[in-house]
Amino acid sequence: MLEVKNLETGYGDVQVLWDVNLEVHKGETVALIGPNGAGKTTLLNTICGLLEPRAGAVLLEGEDLSSVPGHDRTRRGVVQIPEGRKLFSGMTVTDNLSMGAYCRRDKNEVRGDMAWAFELFPELVPLKDRPAGSLSGGQQQMCAIARGLMARPRYLLIDEMSLGVAPVIVDRLIVAIRDIQAKADMGLLIVEQDVGLALELADRGYVLETGRMVGSGRSAELLDDPRITEAYLGVA
């Protein structure tokens, strides 16, 4: 289990998160929803070790990761697909995927995982040798997800999958996420501006507002909650 316990953090003199608690179990998908500026990306960055907590802890299978640097968290299976993709734009698609497996030593299995990544996103096959920066936004998002999978994550954190992506490509990404859910034994934590989409993909959800958790529950329960539907889905 990936667990956040009583987490607090911020930037400089500005505190962003207060007493945040969250759990993601292996094999389940969890949505983290909330308005812009709520602290969702800050939470993901803290889980991944890009930002230090001021209080509380991030636990991986019961182990406190407070003293574990970000690159070692990746080795241990906590991997983030960052908002905006953050690809190596001058490197080819294949080289970007290879960088995802940089921390791995099981080279034979790496080749198999790369084959699976291209099977998951066949649209990338004819683009293998093209610089990632020359791809469309949707193609770049496919490449970013494929790169994250190359690290063989135990827990995959996806930040704003649909941001800047055409609706038809979002539908394609949903199919890929469903395939990942079916074939890979990992936990998924999804931050998504499209709340309906996030809860459709997830088993459970958390609601983060102004740095504090204000709700949680099964996805179906949250979709039936009039506070959620009015605030995030525009349904009065």
For residue 92, give the H/E element and its range: none
Question: Per residue in 16-67, pLDDT tens?
Answer: 999 999 999 999 999 999 999 999 999 999 999 999 999 999 999 999 998 8
Any idea what DSSP says for residue 131? B
Average pLDDT, the chain: 94
- What is the pLDDT, as a whole number, of residue 105? 82
What's the confidence (pLDDT) of residue 108?
Answer: 83
Q: What is the arithmetic mean of pLDDT over 8-17?
A: 96
Supply the angle between the helices 137-149 and 167-183 in degrees, to the nearest 10: 10
Contacts of 234 (CB under 8 A, 6+ apart): none
- DSSP reduced 3-state for 162: coil
In this structure, what CATH number is given to the domain that contains residue 108?
3.40.50.300
First to last CA, the chain: 36
Query: For residue 44, how many C-alpha atoms fall within 13 Å in the half-sphere facing its CB?
Result: 23
pLDDT (average), residues 2-16 = 97
Output the pLDDT for position 219.
96
Task: Please give the helix or strand (H or E) that residue 140 lies within, else none.
Answer: helix 137-149
Q: How many domains does the chain have?
A: 1
Check if the beta carbon of residue 165 is closer than 8 Å to that of residue 173: yes
The token pair at 51 is 């930002």
The answer, yes or no, to whether residue 113 has pLDDT greater than 60, is yes
State the pLDDT at residue 103.
Answer: 83
Neighbours of 99 (CB within 10 A): 15
Interstrand relation of 187-191 and 29-33 (parallel, antiparallel or unpaired):
parallel
Range of the domain at 118: 2-232
Please name the residues in contact with 169: beta carbons below 8 A apart, sequence gap of 6 or more: 137, 138, 141
How do residues 21-32 score in pLDDT, each as one tens digit?
Answer: 999 999 999 999
Q: Which of 8-12, 217-221, 228-232 comes out lowest in average pLDDT?
A: 228-232
Helix H or strand E encompassing 73: helix 70-75
Q: What is the pLDDT of residue 235?
A: 61
The pLDDT tens digits for 162-196 are 988 999 999 999 999 999 999 888 999 999 989 99
Least reliable range by pLDDT among 10-14, 15-19, 61-65, 106-110: 106-110
The whole-number pLDDT of residue 199 equals 95
Over residues 197-220, the pLDDT tens digits come to 999 999 999 999 999 999 999 999
Identify the pLDDT of residue 236. 52
